[in-house]
A = this chain, B = another copy of it.
Amino acid sequence: MPRRVPLYKRVKQRLAAALEKGVWRPGEALPPEPALAKRFAVSVGTLRKAVDELVAESLLVRRQGSGTYVDSHTRDTMLARFFPMVDRTGNKRLPQSRLLSFRRGRASAAIAALLHLQRGAPVFEIDNLLSLDDEPLILDRIRLPQALFPDLTEAIFAEREATIYALYQSRYGVTVVRTEESIAAALADERACELLLLTPPAPVLRVVRTAYAWHSQPVDTRVRLIATRRHHYRSVLGQR
């Protein structure tokens, strides 16, 4: 650790802590910059540098002339930030979701490692099918720690209005800021072929995705099989 932490970094940490604590709700405006600067006893320039970084990390959103707002997981932001599939023309659309099964279980060694849990810790195990235009696209097996989502039930999950990450945020105050995906090629097994409407031997993408909140805390992890008939996985390297 650096001996001397710059002032704006400490302001950033304090702001992030306040956000995590829920001092301002997603979608709400923060106080104006001069007021915040006064509260933290720093100059406006320093306060702005702290906000700059939180905006770069998508925790905050600036709207000129209006204010600075806590980012909320709308359909549009989810689509742009966390959904990688595009059609032949490069366009994205949010998929429809169909819940296949919802169970309570215990974390295997592998799952526990990914979610930073003890082996055997209670988790939810959810199977979910995502489709575009009634064509099945992605088969997900999701695991999430029961500790993070204490009162989650099948009904709550199935009847949510928005995306899964939006549910985490609005109901449990858990905001996903980053996901890491590991992609391999595989042959779909019999069940996957049925659900994804493929005829063996059918190549699919096998993606292991883990979602993280602030401080790299794992939120959920999933194994997803993706049929790339009409949609491709899009990735941009460099120029971040």
A residues with a Cβ closer than 8 A to B are 56-58, 81-82, 84, 86, 176-187, 201, 203-205, 226-228, 232-240
Number of copies of this chain that the complex holds: 2
What DSSP secondary structure best describes chain A's contact surface?
Answer: strand
Bound state CA distance, A182 and B84, in angstroms? 10
> In the complex the two chains form, is A184's CB within 8 Å of B240's CB?
no
Bound state CA distance, A40 and B84, in angstroms? 41
- A185 is contacted by which of B81, B204, B238, B239 (Cβ under 8 Å)? B204
Find the B residue at minimum CB distance from A226: B185
Residue from A181, A227, A238 with most neighbouring chain B CB atoms (10 Å): A238
> In the complex the two chains form, is B237's CB within 8 Å of A240's CB?
no
Report the minimum CB–CB distance from A83 to chain B (whole Å). 8
Bound state CA distance, A187 and B188, in angstroms? 12
